[in-house]
């Protein structure tokens, strides 16, 4: 086996990195995951995620974790309703029966990000995840690398895999290809105990999702299992919007003032999601990479997930990251390459070809959401899906 007697380091304990750690560990590989969070519970994990049959669910099946998934997914949370700017419903799945059959290739069961992360961590050997390890620097050491962390510790690895997400600090050791601003910034928010703190919007979700569209602006609401309402706005903004606007996105009142102005043609029903102090907000400019990105593969360093190929929001990023994990594991442990570099090259070629399609699809979706007739586009899209 290519990775026998090798020390493998995965940087970043998101869905991509943790899935890969599990898959490699099942084959007896020595693997550590270095994660910047101080511990498993320090950070509230964001939105709910729909896992797709051919990617996210395939990864969990390969990892032997379908039983754990069944215990933690949220039947019914996948049901969507589409509204306009006045919160008037034009399409709804809220009365449909909840998903039961996970073998249906069209099933897109939802799981909250926290429980997904927890079940992946629980599947790993003790101390696989090294918490409080904010990666800062790689230094070549023989055929491998010394990894340096912000807390002053270091670690050696023969092979390093970056899965440190959209703001990766490892990618630059592989390529200097820069990301491109997509034209869109999302403002993500979370209202805790939403049945009390945002009761009307909570009710509107019916335990599922709301996609609200009007003339190029979007709000997505998702009910989470622990009672939070997770949401994000999607609007076209300049690349320096976050800095230039001067808005302190940790200040709820400033975020509400921005919303009232930017969404001035929306009804005040939506103000509720900005009205409780039991909430948080964060602005996230959205990027993608050039479609023709490629680089010369290295023998001891590669990357997966958003670090390699983030796209504008399309509801597929976690699925792509988990599929990367499966395909990299297969290249190392199943495909019989002679060297690690050959395995990495084959994996990266496959991943980049897939990323072209994912980026194109996400960009088209984004363009439609930013268009004047975004509501009609989404209604046609969902009605077409229902006819299949
Ligand atoms: C609001 C929102 C909603 C979304 N909804 C969906 C959805 O419904 N479906 C979907 O498929 N995708 C969705 N996505 C996209 C999805 O979240 C990402 O594509 C996915 O999480 C990428 O997985 P990853 O493992 O590559 O990176 P991440 O999930 O970003 O994980 C990276 C990990 O690395 C750690 N890290 C970062 N820097 C360092 C460092 N220097 N040192 C050590 N550790 C570090 C982070 O703490 C984190 O744990 C959404 C994204 C957002 C923002």
Task: Give the domain ranges of the chain.
Answer: 7-73+112-178+290-368, 182-288
What residue's CA is closest to ligand 1, atom 1? Answer: 188
Q: Which atom of ligand 1 sits closest to the CA of residue 324?
A: 26
Q: Check: pTM over 0.85? Answer yes or no.
A: yes
Tokens of residue 41, six digits:
């519970």
What are residue 48's DSSP bridge partners?
112
Rounded Cα distance, 172 and 25, in Å: 27
Q: Which atom of ligand 1 sits closest to the CA of residue 310?
A: 19
Pocket test for ligand 1, best of 9, 10, 12 (most atoms within 8 A of CB): 12
- CA dihedral of residues 381, 384, 385, 386 (deg, nearest 10): 130
Instruction: State the angle between helix axes of 317-333 and 340-369 in degrees (0 to 180), rounded to the nearest 10.
Output: 170
Report the separation in Å between the CA atom of 320 and the middle of ligand 1, taken as the mean of its atom positions: 11
Whether 214 contacts 266, CB under 8 Å: yes
Pocket test for ligand 1, best of 317, 328, 354, 359 (most atoms within 8 A of CB): 317
Whether 316 contacts 310, CB under 8 Å: no
Where residue 227 falls (left for φ over 0; alpha for ψ -120 to 50; beta otherwise) is left
Rounded Cα distance, 358 and 323, in Å: 12
3 state DSSP class of 249: coil
Distances (CA, A) of 159 to 3, 143, 234, 308: 9, 9, 38, 17
pLDDT, block means (10 residues), the chain with 388 residues: 96 98 98 96 81 97 97 96 98 93 89 95 98 98 98 98 97 97 96 98 97 98 96 97 96 97 98 96 96 97 97 92 98 94 98 96 94 97 83
- State whether the Cα torsion 364-179-236-16 is positive or negative: positive
- pLDDT on residue 234: 97
- The CATH architecture that domain 182-288 belongs to is 2-Layer Sandwich (3.30)
Rounded Cα distance, 164 and 16, in Å: 9
Rounded Cα distance, 68 and 64, in Å: 9
- State whether the Cα torsion 240-242-243-244 is positive or negative: positive
Report the separation in Å between the CA atom of 338 and the middle of ligand 1, taken as the mean of its atom positions: 32
Residues 6+ apart with CB under 8 A from 346: 331, 335, 337
Rounded Cα distance, 332 and 4, in Å: 10
Q: Which atom of ligand 1 sits closest to the CA of residue 319?
A: 11
Q: Which protein residues are within 6 Å of ligand 1, measured from CB? A: 11-17, 34-37, 46-47, 49-50, 133-135, 163-166, 169, 186, 188, 232, 284, 305-307, 315-319, 321
Q: Same CATH fold, 182-288 and 7-73+112-178+290-368?
A: no
Radius of gyration over every alpha carbon of the chain, rounded to an integer in angstroms: 21
- pLDDT on residue 172: 98
- pLDDT on residue 101: 87
Where residue 297 falls (left for φ over 0; alpha for ψ -120 to 50; beta otherwise) is beta
Tokens of residue 286, six digits:
């959205």
Rounded Cα distance, 369 and 191, in Å: 24
- pLDDT on residue 300: 98
Indicate the fold that domain 7-73+112-178+290-368 takes in CATH.
Answer: FAD/NAD(P)-binding domain (3.50.50)
């Amino acid at each position: 086996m290519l990775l026998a007697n090798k020390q493998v380091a995965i940087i970043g304990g998101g869905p991509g990195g943790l899935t890969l750690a599990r898959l490699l560990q099942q084959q007896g590989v020595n693997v550590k995951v270095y994660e910047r969070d101080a511990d498993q519970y320090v950070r509230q994990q964001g939105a709910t995620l729909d896992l797709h049959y051919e990617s996210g669910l395939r990864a969990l099946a390969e990892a032997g974790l379908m039983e754990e998934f069944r215990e933690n997914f949220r039947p019914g949370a996948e049901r969507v309703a589409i509204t306009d700017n006045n919160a008037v419903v034009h399409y709804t799945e809220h009365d449909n029966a909840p998903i039961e059959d996970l073998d249906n290739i069209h099933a897109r069961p939802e799981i909250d990000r926290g429980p997904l992360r927890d079940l992946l961590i629980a599947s790993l050997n003790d101390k696989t995840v090294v918490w409080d390890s904010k990666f800062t620097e790689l230094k070549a050491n023989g055929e491998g690398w010394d990894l340096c962390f912000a807390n002053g510790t270091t670690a050696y690895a023969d092979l390093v895999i970056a899965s440190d997400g959209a703001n990766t600090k490892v990618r630059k050791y592989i390529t200097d290809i820069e990301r491109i601003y997509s034209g869109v910034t999302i403002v993500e928010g979370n209202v805790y105990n939403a049945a009390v703190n945002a009761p009307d919007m909570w009710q509107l979700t019916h335990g599922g999702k709301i996609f609200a569209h009007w003339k190029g602006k979007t709000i997505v609401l998702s009910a989470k299992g622990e009672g939070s309402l997770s949401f994000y706005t999607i609007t076209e903004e300049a690349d320096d919007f976050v800095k230039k606007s001067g808005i302190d996105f940790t200040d709820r009142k400033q975020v509400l003032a921005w919303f009232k102005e930017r969404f001035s043609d929306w009804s005040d029903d939506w103000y509720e999601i900005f009205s409780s102090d039991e909430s948080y907000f964060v602005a996230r400019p959205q990027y993608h990479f050039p479609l023709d990105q490629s680089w010369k593969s290295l023998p001891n360093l590669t990357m997966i997930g958003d670090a390699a190929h983030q796209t504008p929001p399309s509801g597929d990023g976690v699925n792509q990251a988990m599929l990367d994990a499966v395909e990299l594991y297969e290249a190392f442990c199943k495909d019989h390459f002679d060297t690690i570099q050959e395995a990495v090259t084959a994996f990266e070629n496959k991943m980049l070809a897939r990323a072209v399609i994912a980026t194109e699809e996400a960009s088209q979706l984004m363009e439609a959401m930013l268009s004047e007739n975004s509501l009609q586009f989404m209604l046609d899209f969902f009605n077409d899906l229902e006819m299949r």
